[in-house]
Amino acid sequence: MQQELEVGLIALATTGEVQAASADIAIATTCTSDLIDITDRVGAIVADTGIVEGIALVSAPHTTCAVIVNEAEPGFIDDFKAALEAIAPQSREYAHNDAPHAEEFEAPNGYAHVRAAFLSSHSALLPVRNGKLALGRWQRIFFVELDRARPRTCQVTLVGRAR
Amino acid sequence: MQQELEVGLIALATTGEVQAASADIAIATTCTSDLIDITDRVGAIVADTGIVEGIALVSAPHTTCAVIVNEAEPGFIDDFKAALEAIAPQSREYAHNDAPHAEEFEAPNGYAHVRAAFLSSHSALLPVRNGKLALGRWQRIFFVELDRARPRTCQVTLVGRAR
Amino acid sequence: MQQELEVGLIALATTGEVQAASADIAIATTCTSDLIDITDRVGAIVADTGIVEGIALVSAPHTTCAVIVNEAEPGFIDDFKAALEAIAPQSREYAHNDAPHAEEFEAPNGYAHVRAAFLSSHSALLPVRNGKLALGRWQRIFFVELDRARPRTCQVTLVGRAR
């Protein structure tokens, strides 16, 4: 247990009641593979709740979206779009493209479902410390549109110790 | 902070004690890439616990299973199976296939471990609101068998504010 | 609801207050695709907190690391490294490799960002039961270095019912 890894117990919450809170963020995506940086919005919600230590769940109630955590650097965003296209090309045939969707017109989006399933990331979970998202220096939270432009919702759920 | 994104704080829990609860779901999978829709079972557990706002963790205590959230549409399921086969073909050679497993017979399943590691999704986390899983219209929770047919367990853990 | 799936409600926490706790683990990674088994360290933190039922979030505050759950078997680890190299080869050109990073020298690591985004796994979430990580027989928690050797931090956050 005492090798090259150092373990430091930062805080054991013994005061303050644990609470739960929820909020929604409305997002208008603009294109396939749109990456929208929602870090500041999630951070504002964390601050509003008064929760100082716990976890923040950032989730998409959609089957063709993802939430990822990475660097807000344009080169990476281009690389990621290219990698998504390589793993499930938009022009390939998908069985899902032939599915009937009775209630609304939907363009063929089999590629978007496969990308979503591969990322298997309809949500991201972040620690909250000292009332703030405990993100690393380069970490930003992205809501990812894997389908075409459309109105979307991002759910934020917090569980943790309040002030 | 006030761009095209709208932030709506839905609920800040100030009443009701936060609780934790656990349950298991026993699952008999039938084949490689079997996708089992467990949404209703998880929903029933949420209802049983009386937790109204918080999070539900759905996890597999197995190294060759996954939990994903996507649409229950047969075409998508076929597309996903084909994509899993493309990323880590069952017929390829895997170093793990030569590993000794002393205590039980195990067929070579290196492909299943690589698929599990790529999905990196032994669990999914869903928000709970108003005593129900806050799923989107098309979202279903799938327990995914990445190995061969076998008896499996799915763990459900809830933390949230109770009525 | 009563098909081949059996649902067993194990425990509904009605006693003991829900608490939150945080800890850090310092890790010195040694190479690209280094997989470091941190299961015992996380387990020790769980024990220290006295939390008996709830969830444990194990997260990396880095954009080129991952946390995955799989088997500690050398063959699998080799298979996984080969699969990471196949999905985003280190020798390929990446737009991110040309990004300016003013404050510190950084070797080109576009491959590491794409791998991190594909795994979309900067964190793993485990259930806690009876004061212990409720891991399956073969499950181990790995901190994954996707970039080159460097000092890293792993965050552990617990929310659950204490004794």
Alpha carbon distance A65, A120 (integer Å): 10
Q: Which residues have C-beta within 8 Å of that of residue A33, sequence separation ≥ 6?
A: A80, A81, A84, A85, A144, A145, A146
From chain B, the residues in CB contact with A22 under 8 A are: 10-11, 53, 127, 129, 134
Q: Which residues have C-beta within 8 Å of that of residue C3, sequence separation ≥ 6?
A: none
pLDDT in tens, C15-27: 578 889 999 999 9
What is the β-pairing status of strands B132-133 and B123-129? Answer: antiparallel
Question: What does the angle CA A24 – CA A26 – CA A27 come to, to the nearest 5 degrees?
Answer: 135
Read off the pTM.
0.91
* CA nearest to A140 within chain C: C63
CB pairs under 8 A between A and C: 153
Q: Is C107 helix (H, G, I), strand (E, B) or coil?
A: coil
| pLDDT tens across the length of chain A (163 residues) | 233 444 554 444 445 788 899 999 999 999 999 999 999 999 999 999 999 999 999 999 999 999 999 999 999 999 999 999 999 999 999 999 988 764 455 689 999 999 999 999 999 999 999 999 999 999 999 999 999 999 999 999 999 998 7
pLDDT of residue A104: 58
Contact B127 A155 (CB under 8 A): yes
Contact B21 C12 (CB under 8 A): yes
CA-based Rg of chain C, rounded to a whole angstrom? 19
What average pLDDT does the segment B31-59 reach? Answer: 95
- Global ipTM: 0.89
pLDDT in tens, C73-107: 999 999 999 999 999 999 999 999 988 764 455 68
Alpha carbon distance C114, A118 (integer Å): 13
Which residue in C4, C54, C69 is closest to B20 by CB distance? Answer: C54
Full DSSP string of B93-112: --GGGG---TTS-----HHH
Inter-CA distances, B131 with B55, B67, B76, B106, B134, Å = 11, 22, 29, 41, 9
CA distance to partner chain B, nearest, from residue A114 (Å): 6
CA distance to partner chain B, nearest, from residue A104 (Å): 13
* CA nearest to C89 within chain A: A83
Alpha carbon distance C163, C157 (integer Å): 17
Lowest-confidence range among A38-42, A75-79, B9-13, B152-156? B9-13
Which residue in A28, A99, A118 is closest to B83 by CB distance? Answer: A118
* CA nearest to B37 within chain C: C5
Inter-CA distances, B138 with B5, B25, B73, B82, B132, Å = 23, 22, 9, 21, 15
Alpha carbon distance B40, B53 (integer Å): 18
Q: Which residues have C-beta within 8 Å of that of residue A116, sequence separation ≥ 6?
A: A63, A64, A65, A66, A122, A146, B70
Given a contact as 3+ CB pairs under 8 Å, which chains touch A? B, C
Alpha carbon distance A84, A70 (integer Å): 15
Alpha carbon distance C124, A65 (integer Å): 20
